[in-house]
Every structure is written in structure tokens, then in C-alpha cells.
Amino acid sequence: MKKILFIVIDGLGDNPVKMFGGKTPLEAAKTPNLDLMAKNGFCGSLEPFMFESQDAPTSEDAHIALFGFDPKRYSLGRGIFEALGAGIPLKSKDVAIRINFATVDSNLTIKDRRAGRIENTQALINDLNRIKIKGVKIFVKKAWGYRAVLRLRSTKDISPEITSNDPREIFKQPLKIKAKNKSRSAIFTAQLLNEFVLKSHEVLKNHFINQERKKSGLPPANFLLLRGAGRFKKLPSFKKVWAMKACCVAGGNLYKGIAKFLGMEVVKVKGANGGINTNLKEKINTAKKCLKKNDFVFLHIKAADCLAEDGNCAGKKSFIEKIDRHLKPLLNLNNSDIIITCDHRTDCNKKMHAKGNVPFLIYENQSNGIESFSEKSCNKPVMPSRLFIKFIVDLQKK
Ligand SMILES: [Zn+2]
């Protein structure tokens, strides 16, 4: 069977944009390589997965579905994937939660939800790891920038069924963490996290790093906002389910975490950072090399989503053009199918993820007569994203 290079351009799909005369950023972008692949490949449209309670797909659920798994079973909470992506080992029943370092004033009113996008949090984290709370092992690890991940491990029953303390707005006070149900474990976990948040504020408020920040006119990282709690459990891996050895080339923590969770090897790439200046050349090179030892290589490119979330439609269009230029070395790969798709639309006018189908292409398989790669041109056949991997595998067998 042929090998598969599975490229996900996060948030690539979009809605019509006025400044592009009603075209989407992908339609407006000059993408000769994507168009050539579309012409010589099989194209169509995917319905990204979302839960009924959601207004738009999330990246994590959409990726789980793209890999052919049921998000109802496999989406364990963002905290779990972020923890794995940050390199925190997890055991069954561990609870993991995302942390933002934030700034509060003396009345505990939030002044900055990202503490001036602080980077050097390691000394703060070292002291947070000295906090003791009865019956629970607490471990904090730095993630990207102002973010960190918290792992709770306990012989007592702990639960991810707790609310966030992040009001998601400045000039408000952090919320109390509450149990989402009446179980003893959820009530206990909410109590212990409220205690941890208070103790951490005591550790952080006079910390030498924050004294220095205040002297330099920077907002101190003196409060923790917690969200995305999840509980770890081991589930059948990608290899077990699809009988393909898989690896992942990504810059963003979340995507590395999802890949690890599914049992894919995460390959390190110098300069891959999930940003606009990520090392695309090296990522594509690495992905090519990985095809030698793997049946399935997942290559994730993040920044189109971030640019759209910042409302930067022109930036998204030019980043798509940049990706396209870097795809050229893939045009004559032997014995491999290249898949290009995305996890969901990100609307650059509304600065948020949006509902709606997204295009896919499978190069180089039989062509179904499509001339370019875009939301409109690749509109048939339509399938739920969860069936996509099976569709690719079946297509290869033909
Ligand atoms: Zn996404």
C-alpha cells in the first residue's frame, strides 16, 4: 500500500471576505501548487465534527475526528492533550488542566489575562511545585509562552468535572472553581483547586521575578487562570485501529499532544513553533524523511488559524501563499499519497472558528476533474470528517 502524508492546515477554510471581492482567503490566494495537486488528484469536502452543544468545531475534537476516532470517546479535555504535548507523563485517572499566568491588582481584579505575554515563567513554576495540598500530588510544567499545564494525581477520587476560574474578561475578579455535578470527587477537586489558586497567588505576588517585572513596568504574573480540565485514560491507538505506523510533525503543543495520545511518534523539528515564522521548509523536509519509516505522517501547520483569529484576512491569504510555495518539493514524491485538508473554517471577519464544510485533496490519485483547491470548487463528494481516513484507505485499495 502507498504511504500517506496527511497535511492539516489549521483553520484554512473561511467565509467570503469583502476585501477579496467576496472570495475566501484560500480562493483569493495564488496557489499554483495546491491547484496542480487538485487537478491531478481527488477532491471533495469534509463536514468537520462538532458536538451539538457547540457553535463551531474546536481544533481538538475536529482533529480526533479527522484521524477517524469518535470524539465522544476520545476527546478527553484540552488539558490532557496540552499536558501530553508539554511532555508530562500521564497515568490513568490523572487530571490535567491548562493554566494561564495572569495579572491581578490588590483587589484581585484581573488586569491582564496573559500577564503581558510573559515568557520566562520557569522560576515561578519551580516555586509553584513546592505547594503542598493534602492527599494530592501537584505538578506544574511550562508550556508555550504564558501558558503552563497542571497535573493532579491522587489516591483519592479526583474529577475533571469542574468549572474554570477564568471570567474571560479583564476588570473582573477570577471566578470560584465549582463542581459541575454533586459527586464527592468533583466537589473535592473544586475545593482543592480553589485552595491551590489561593496558595499560588501567595507564592507569586511577591516573587522576585514579579518584583523585577514591576520595576521594569511589566505586569506581574501573580495569578493562575485554570481551564480545560480532563481525565486521562488509555484508548486504542492509531496503529491499532488503522494498522499504520504513524508519526507527527507539528509546532503547536495541542497537536503534538493529540498525536502522542493516539500513539504517534512526535518528531522534533528545529524552528517549528506553530507561528507565522515557523520553519516550514524544515517541517516539510522532515515529513518527507519520516515517510521512509512510517506509513502515515501527520504534518500540522497552525498559523492560518491564528491569523484569522486575529482578524488578519490579508495575513491569512499571504500565509496560504507561503505554504503553497513550500509544497513544491512534494509534487513528485514516489509511492505516497499527499492529503491536504483542514480541521475547520476560521472566519477572519468574525475572528473565530466557524461552521461549514472544508475542502480536501488526495494527490496523486485518480482525478475527479476539479481545477483548483478551494471551498467552492472542492464541494463534492461530501463526507463526515470521521469517515475520511477510511475513504483514503479504501481508495488506495482500488
Ligand atoms: Zn484548528
Span 221-265, pLDDT tens digits: 999 999 999 999 999 999 999 999 999 999 999 999 999 999 999
Instruction: Taking residues 308-312, report their average pLDDT.
Output: 95
pLDDT band at residue 280, thresholds of 50, 70 and 90? very high
What superfamily does domain 3-76+236-397 belong to in CATH?
Alkaline Phosphatase, subunit A (3.40.720.10)
232 touches 91 (CB < 8 A):
yes
Q: Residue 7 Cα, ligand 1 centroid: separation in angstroms? A: 13
Q: Residue 157 Cα, ligand 1 centroid: separation in angstroms? A: 33
Q: Residue 208 Cα, ligand 1 centroid: separation in angstroms? A: 37
pLDDT band at residue 335, thresholds of 50, 70 and 90? confident
- Specify the pLDDT at position 201: 98
- H or E segment and range at residue 301: strand 296-301
Query: Cell 476560574 sits at which residue?
Result: 165
HEC-encoded secondary structure of 234-270: CCCCHHHHHCCCEEEECCCHHHHHHHHHCCCEECCCC
Shortest CA distance to 85 belongs to which of 147, 143, 126?
143
Q: Residue 341 Cα, ligand 1 centroid: separation in angstroms? A: 11
Chain mean pLDDT for the chain: 96
Q: Residue 353 Cα, ligand 1 centroid: separation in angstroms? A: 8
- Specify the pLDDT at position 1: 81
Q: Residue 398 Cα, ligand 1 centroid: separation in angstroms? A: 31
- Specify the pLDDT at position 274: 84
Q: Which residue spans of the chain are classified as CATH 3.40.720.10?
A: 3-76+236-397
Q: Residue 346 Cα, ligand 1 centroid: separation in angstroms? A: 8
Distances (CA, A) of 353 to 24, 35, 57, 140: 14, 25, 7, 29
In DSSP notation, 98-161 reads EEEEEEE-TT--EEETTGGG----HHHHHHHTT--BTTEEEEEEE-STTEEEEEEEESS---S-
- H or E segment and range at residue 287: helix 280-293
Q: Residue 67 Cα, ligand 1 centroid: separation in angstroms? A: 14
pLDDT for 398 beyond 80? no
Q: Residue 111 Cα, ligand 1 centroid: separation in angstroms? A: 28
pLDDT band at residue 32, thresholds of 50, 70 and 90? very high
- Specify the pLDDT at position 322: 98
142 touches 122 (CB < 8 A):
yes
Q: Residue 14 Cα, ligand 1 centroid: separation in angstroms? A: 12
Q: What is the CA radius of gyration of the chain?
A: 22
Q: Residue 304 Cα, ligand 1 centroid: separation in angstroms? A: 9
pLDDT for 42 beyond 90? yes
Q: Residue 60 Cα, ligand 1 centroid: separation in angstroms? A: 7
Cell of 19: 476585501
Q: How far apart are CA 135 and CA 166, in angstroms?
A: 25
Q: How many residues does the chain have?
A: 398
Beta bridge partners of 259: none
Q: Residue 384 Cα, ligand 1 centroid: separation in angstroms? A: 16
Cell of 232: 486521562
Q: Residue 136 Cα, ligand 1 centroid: separation in angstroms? A: 33
Q: Residue 164 Cα, ligand 1 centroid: separation in angstroms? A: 21
In DSSP notation, 147-205 reads EEEEEEEESS---S-B--S--SSTTSPPPPP-BSSS-HHHHHHHHHHHHHHHHHHHHHH
Q: Residue 226 Cα, ligand 1 centroid: separation in angstroms? A: 21
pLDDT for 110 beyond 90? yes
11 touches 309 (CB < 8 A):
yes
Instruction: Taking residues 327-345, report their average pLDDT.
Output: 94
Q: Residue 152 Cα, ligand 1 centroid: separation in angstroms? A: 27
Distances (CA, A) of 351 to 16, 67, 273, 290, 324: 13, 26, 21, 34, 23
pLDDT for 366 beyond 90? no
pLDDT for 100 beyond 80? yes
Shortest CA distance to 329 belongs to which of 33, 40, 125, 64?
33
pLDDT for 332 beyond 90? no
Q: Residue 206 Cα, ligand 1 centroid: separation in angstroms? A: 37
pLDDT for 195 beyond 80? yes
Q: Residue 306 Cα, ligand 1 centroid: separation in angstroms? A: 9
